[in-house]
Structure 1
Amino acid sequence: MVLSPGIGHLIPLTEFAKRLVINHPKFEVTIFIPNDGSPMKYPKQLLQALPKSISTIFLPPVSFNDLPHDVDIETKIVLSVVRSLPALKHSIKVLLESTRLAALVVDLFGIEPVSDICKELGIIKPYIFFPTNAMMLQLVFHMPKFDQTFSCESFSDLVEPLKLPGCVPLHGRDVPDPLRDKKSMAYEGTVQLCRCYSMAAGIMVNSFVELQQGAFKALMMNQGQIPAVYPVGPLVQTGSSDGGVNESNNCCLKWLNEQPDGSVVYVSFGSGGTLSSQQMNELAMGLEMSGQRFLWVVKSPNDKAKNATFFSVDSVDDDPVHFLPNGFLERTKGVGLVVPSWAPQVEVLSHGSTGGFITHCGWNSTLEAIVHGVPLVAWPLYAEQRMNAVILSDDLKVAWRVKENENGLVGRDEIAKFVKGLIQGEEGKPLRDKMRKLKEAAKMALSPDGSSTKSLAKVAEIWNNQGK
């Protein structure tokens, strides 16, 4: 398995590897990890906890010194794989000397460069592990056609929503970042990447049929024109997500233990998400105005980028708490808990005191909320998060989506209204009820006779035959 940079890619791929070797113990897995220069402390801790049948190979670090400082994250991710190709090819050749290859799996950014290696070495076509959802995969297959059909410079200019088979309508403004604006540096490369998906032998998707029935049905009806699609999710972290920050872990859980059931709103924007100074201030005031209990993972603000910490997941800010409004901590003492930079999210979401989640709608966080039955306030920031917010609010109806005001901010009044409604209000009851049903559906999908377990078994059978 070949990884792309980012903790949001590492976690689902390693969970996929774990599920494969646990359910089908004949397999052994080697994970190749490109080195983009990001801190590796937390990824190494995750990898050290994997079963013995999963090994890892860290590829030599690559340099980005020739790139402009404001280059798109997607460009850096793809280049980290491309610039690791010589080392990757050498490592695969060495492995082939002692191992029967059943399959080569790449994550969503690796299909084009790794396909070239497969041709050169004369080995089987790669599979894709797709760590996000079926609606995004539908967009991937339709994007080359949309690129030719629409002449506008930005999909945000489209009046009519895009129609993807089996999916709710998608407005152009909610198209993922690298595909929304044709003038962006990443656009052409990302559309080309979409074209390459047809080169895959098959695609494993980190979602489940019961969550996205329409999208998966449409994808599977298209078999023959596109690679076979296998829903294998929800693949989320289980057990401790400590990350080595024991003090924060203990602090959060001890505080949650003292709160009433379902009374706390958890606020976190993932490993990469950042807010501006003004937005951070509005969020603080909205939480205070709501009068509800909250656990907020605070990062230092960034006024230029909404994904400023994507490549530095385990760097801890000196003290982001200094950026909070004057007197905020004193006024909310006993009601809220603020923790800098990191919290044990799996443990927080599974805790009985947690009754809601303000989230950036990263797909890992989305699935973790579904698995633990926690209703959402959807606050997308970058990548495909706006699309995920559409799924959560318009299709599944387990989230309220925030709206920016004329100043480009989510205002404190709206934040307070949503937080209060999620925890206390009758208007939050439908969200809570629907999320409970999805929690049960997720559990069933991963059961011995569940849809995702059977889907993984099909993949394993194909690989078992190829490895003979």
Structure 2
Amino acid sequence: MEVKTHIAIVSVPVYSHLRSILEFCKRLVHLHHDIHVTCINPTFGSPCNNTKALFDSLPLTLNQMFLPPVNMEDLPHDIHPAIQVQVIISRSLPLIYDALKALHASSRLAAIISDGLITQVLPFGKELNVLSYSYFPSTAMLLSLCLYSSMLDKRISCEYRDIVEPIEIPGCIPIHGTDLPDPLQDRSGAAYKQFLEGNERFYLADGILVNNFFEMEEGTIRALQQEEEKGIPSVYAIGPFVQEESCKEGSNDIKYLRWLDKQQCNSVLYVSFGSGGTLSQEQIEELAWGLELSGQKFLWVLRPPNKFGIIADIGARHEDPFEFLPDGRLRGCFMSIPRNLLCHCGWNSTLEAVVHGIPLIAWPLFAEQKMNAVLLTDDLKVALRPKVNENGIVEREEITGIIRNLMVGEEGKEIRQRMKNLKDVADDALKDDGSSTVTLTQLALKWKSLS
């Protein structure tokens, strides 16, 4: 009888993170049929339709365990989504530990792999005497910042945003303090303290799996790997993992695809800010006019404005987005479709653009997206980034100019060629003898040896 290697995955209830870690799971069991995966999912409330679709798309070889929903009734209704997630994680930890302990008792676990947002799970592996890994659904650049954040905290005394010179992060392109992730913009805040504490727990990991391929961030990954003797966990570049979506006949998406089929290659700009990103009312109007004035064809995934700049997976208002556009002929100039991708520099969207060879306009909103924009524009040079005014708004003239530059300008041609080259390298990384596939196979063999 075949002995299967059992791996436990611990997710977090954030749509973008779920997409990434579940695609990793699918890739793992596709390459290694003798590995059995159980995904432990903390829950709260009812999942949104997009989340339901994610789980419905999983192969039967992936076992799902949904934990009882945690009680959130004591929290304010207008709490920031990031705080909401942290509360869910904290209150789910006892349930996660009990689930892992039961799985290990019934079917000896070879490894536990938890999302990078829930580093509190890493000590559970030590308690159960099981290898414990962190799945990092973002860049090696952000990982380097996380691993060296305590060092920066001791070296720099002022707010990062007030530093004039770019900040040096080991193995990375220098970055301005204003482009560091949201928790680092206020060092006196609770989010900053939680950021440091979470990063310290990364050092408990037996390894960190990064959703990228070696060739895209070679300098950063090499720098981290060279520091393993100094206590840095082993870093494994095993991506890119992206979700391949298809349209069903009769769905609203079909008519947009038919329209796209009639357009010339590279003639349409797709505007989207990911699974939950939103803009202010003022910025929506500027973007709308900038798109029209550019004279280029476009598809825009438009959502109502939100004070946090992000719509949580639940509780989002279902409003008509056309209500938030300027009056006039603009209403007939674009189509709105319920899909993700491009522009906001979320890592899932960025990798989808790379895998499909699509050049970018980098318009970061929150979290680590400004860091991603720096990587794309200043390091890889496969994107253009619009300038914001003193009020944090990208004005219509700036939008018009950067769209034309990307789509019909000489700089856009160069960016398109560099992105095509990056796409080819990404394709190679996922081949049987590619860097990511070889790295994942080496890990899988290690886990199988423990069964």
TM-score computed with the length of structure 2 as normaliser = 0.93
In 1: Cα distance, 2:25 partner to 2:352 partner:
18
CA distance in 2, matches of 1:369, 1:382: 19
Match of 1:403 in 2: 387
Cα drift, residue 143 of structure 1: 0.3
Alignment correspondent of 1:56 = 64
* 1:137 partner letter: L
Does residue 118 (structure 1) correspond to residue 121 (structure 2)? The answer is no
Q: Give the Cα–Cα distance (whole angstroms) in 2 for the partners of residues 115 and 206 of structure 1.
A: 19
| 2:275 counterpart (255, 258, 271) | 271
**Which secondary structure does the structure 2 equivalent of 1:299 belong to?**
coil
- For residues 196 and 168 of structure 2, the distance between their equivalents in structure 1, rounded to whole angstroms, comes to 18
2:243 alignment counterpart: 237
Which residue identity lines up with residue 166 of structure 2 in the other structure? P
Matched, 1:449 2:445: no
Number of the residue aligned with 2:109: 101
Question: Per-residue deviation at 1:92?
Answer: 2.2
Cα-to-partner distance string for 1:135-157 (whole Å, 9 max, x where unaligned): 001001110111122111x2101
Q: CA-atom RMSD, angstroms? A: 1.9
User: Structure 1 CA distance, aligned partners of 2:69 and 2:286?
Assistant: 40
1:300 and 2:309 aligned: no
Partner of 1:350: none
For 1:319-358, list aligned pairs within 5 A: 319-330=320-331, 332=333, 336-339=334-337, 342-343=338-339, 345=341, 357=342
In structure 2, the partner of 1:351 is none
Q: 2:178 matched to 1:178?
A: no
CA contact (8 A) 1:72 1:185 kept: no
Please tell me the residue identity of whatever aligns with 1:124.
V
For residues 239 and 73 of structure 1, do their structure 2 counterparts lie closer, same or farther at Cα, with a shift above 3 Å needed?
closer
Deviation at 1:238, TM superposition (A): 1.9
Whether contact under 8 Å (1:198, 1:227) holds in the other structure is yes
SS of the residue corresponding to residue 68 of structure 2 reads: strand
Assess if the C-alpha contact under 8 Å between 2:175 and 2:374 holds in 1. yes
The CA deviation string for residues 399-422 of structure 1, in whole angstroms up to 9 with x for no partner, is: 111111123210001111111121
State, as a whole percentage, how many aligned pairs show the same letter.
45
Cα displacement (A) at 1:463: 0.9
1:432 aligns with 2:433: no
Structure 2 segments unaligned to the other structure (5+ residues): 1-8
Residue 5 (structure 2) aligns with: none
Instruction: Report the residue type matching 2:350 in the other structure.
Output: T
Q: How far did 1:251 drift? A: 2.8
- The alpha-carbon deviation at position 52 of structure 1 amounts to 1.6
Residue in 1 that maps onto 2:168: 163
TM-score, normalization by structure 1: 0.90
Structure 1 counterpart of 2:437, which letter? T
Within the alignment, does 1:128 sit opposite 2:124 as a pair? Answer: no
Counterpart secondary structure, 2:110: coil
The match for 1:310 among 306, 309, 312 is: 312
Equivalent-residue separation in structure 1 for 2:46 and 2:394 (angstroms): 31
Q: Which runs of 5+ in 1 are unaligned?
A: 346-356
**Alignment partners' CA distance in 2, 1:215 and 1:260:** 38
User: Is 2:257 the counterpart of 1:253?
Assistant: yes
- Report matched runs for 1:58-73 at 5 Å: 58-67=66-75, 71-73=79-81
Q: 2:147 aligns with which of 141, 149, 152?
A: 141
Please state how far the C-alpha of 1:89 moved relative to its aligned partner. Answer: 2.4
